[in-house]
Homo-oligomer: A and B are copies of this chain.
Amino acid sequence: MIPKLAKPVTLVALTFALAEVAAPPVAVGQPLVVTGATIIDPLADTSIENGAVLMEDGRITAVGAAGAVDVPAGTSVIDARGKYVIPGLMDANLHLYLNLDLETLIKYEGRYHEIVLEAAQLTLKSGQTTVFDTWGPLDPLAKARDMINAGEAPGSRIYFAGNIIGFDGPLSRDFRGEAAAHVSKAFVNRTNEAWERGTGRDLMWMTPDSVGAAIREYTGTGVDFLKYGSSSHVEMYFISFSERVQRVIVEEGHRADMTVQTHTTSVESLDMAIEAGVDIITHGDISGPVVPIPMETMRKLVERDIAVSVLPITQRRLDALQEHNPEGTLTPYMTVGRENQARMIEAGVSMLLSTDAGIKHPVLLAESSTIASDTVDQRTKLGEGHFNALAALEELGMAPMEILRSATSHIARAYELEDEIGSLQPGMIADLVILDSNPLEAARNYRSIHAVIKDGRRVDIDALPVAPIISVLKPDS
């Protein structure tokens, strides 16, 4: 968790000079006000029409009716009349480095952090001011996170887990093991180690005490939160850790003041994780191809205040997948998953919008044959998947304000960052998105991004990503 900053609460009077919407980013330290827009705060009961949001030193310092906010002299102004202001969007579960193919692993070895940065810029461009990376290489993620936090590069604010505890690395049986035979063992080992960092499959042989010691060490490596596998990654009904070991992992995370989440893919491994005390269930809507999650389990989630990141897809996409469904795909899982999502809405589970997205290598993507997965309401395409996920939640009947919360305040709260991000309350970090159309009227309006403000400064979204490497590859690359 990031350190909790003192929250400024003063409401100041509003005085400002009109600024063009296309105005350049404000200078560092210069106050900024967005005025004239409808302010939609997920934590507020009602929206503020013709409102204003004043930001100083990276924080929101005042929110209110346009006339009721005092704007200091020299404040930069964004005239947002007719537009809509929401908190910066988030993704509770994505992967800024998801390129496990040998071509990328070899070609960009030593430069993975550049791909992470590129990814974080694509997410920022699409309105996501904060993203939660739930599996990736530790050092590159840390480096990119720190560069962004230090203002050395633009990008979404990153929190990351590093490895999923209990999983082996990219060139292991958990991912692309069959590729390992085609490169040196030295390369395999250092690639896997970039992910595993002592938290791989070997832990499954261990006693609770030994696992605890390993996790304790891992919490000191610079990761922001913990994620472990309650389910196996490869054969999705297998369980990785006994309940008592799961409990140890959770306790070690909490001891280090970190939230703990788990990868589960079956009804029973989900139940075990709940009993073990996790804070978040990652893609908790995936419970296998056969049986949906019982309502009894849903109620446990609500009672214990456990949030669930979900992977909603549109009916149109589900239809496309079913039509083009080759053997062995996840389509039956997504079908059951949709039922689980509906049950969660019914039960009142705190659902966190997520995508599992990453930058797919464009050449490899173009060469893969599955038509539907590439073209219809894509889920895992970075900078695009979350728009489709928001629309899918709408299809499922989720209330408009709840949809907004699933992408903002719920995520902040689940990750225990509710004092920093996820709402438009004074004192919060000044992460805003200005939309041309009202997102509460239609989820597709989240796409109508007019401007993105992060840390109280307007982002030059047209320039993102600033140094594209992999997202622009052509067929002959």
Residues of chain A at the chain B interface (Cβ within 8 Å): 101-103, 106-107, 109, 173, 176, 178-179, 182-187, 190, 201-202, 204-208, 210, 232, 235, 237-245, 266-269, 271-272, 287-291, 294, 361, 363-364, 367, 475-477
Contact = CB atoms under 8 A, between A and B. Distances in A.
A294 B207 contact: yes
B101 A182 contact: yes
13 contacts: A101-B182, A101-B184, A102-B182, A106-B107, A107-B107, A190-B476, A205-B290, A205-B291, A207-B294, A237-B240, A239-B239, A239-B242, A242-B269
Given A106-B102, A207-B267, A268-B245, A202 B240 contact: no
A294 to B, nearest CB: 6
A294 B204 CA distance: 15
Contacts of A239: 238-242
A367 B238 contact: no
A325 to B, nearest CB: 15
Nearest to A243: B243
Nearest to A272: B242
A208 B267 CA distance: 10
Contact of A184 (B103, B187, B232, B245): B103
A67 to B, nearest CB: 58
A186 B367 contact: yes
Interface centre among A101, A268, A287, A367 (most CB of B within 10 A): A268
Copies of this chain, how many? 4
8 residue pairs, one from A and one from B, having the closest CB atoms: A204-B237, A238-B238, A242-B268, A239-B239, A205-B288, A106-B106, A205-B290, A179-B182
A290 B364 CA distance: 29
Contacts of A179: 182
B242 A240 contact: no
A91 to B, nearest CB: 27
Given A101-B183, A238-B240, 10 more contacts: A102-B102, A107-B109, A184-B367, A190-B476, A202-B290, A204-B266, A205-B291, A232-B235, A242-B271, A244-B271
Contact of A291 (B106, B207, B476): B207
Given A107-B107, A363-B184, A289 B238 contact: no
A109 B102 CA distance: 14
B238 A206 contact: no
A187 B173 CA distance: 24
Given A184-B364, A238-B238, A477-B186, A267 B106 contact: no
Given A184-B103, A237-B201, A291 B232 contact: no
Contacts of A476: 186, 190
A298 to B, nearest CB: 13
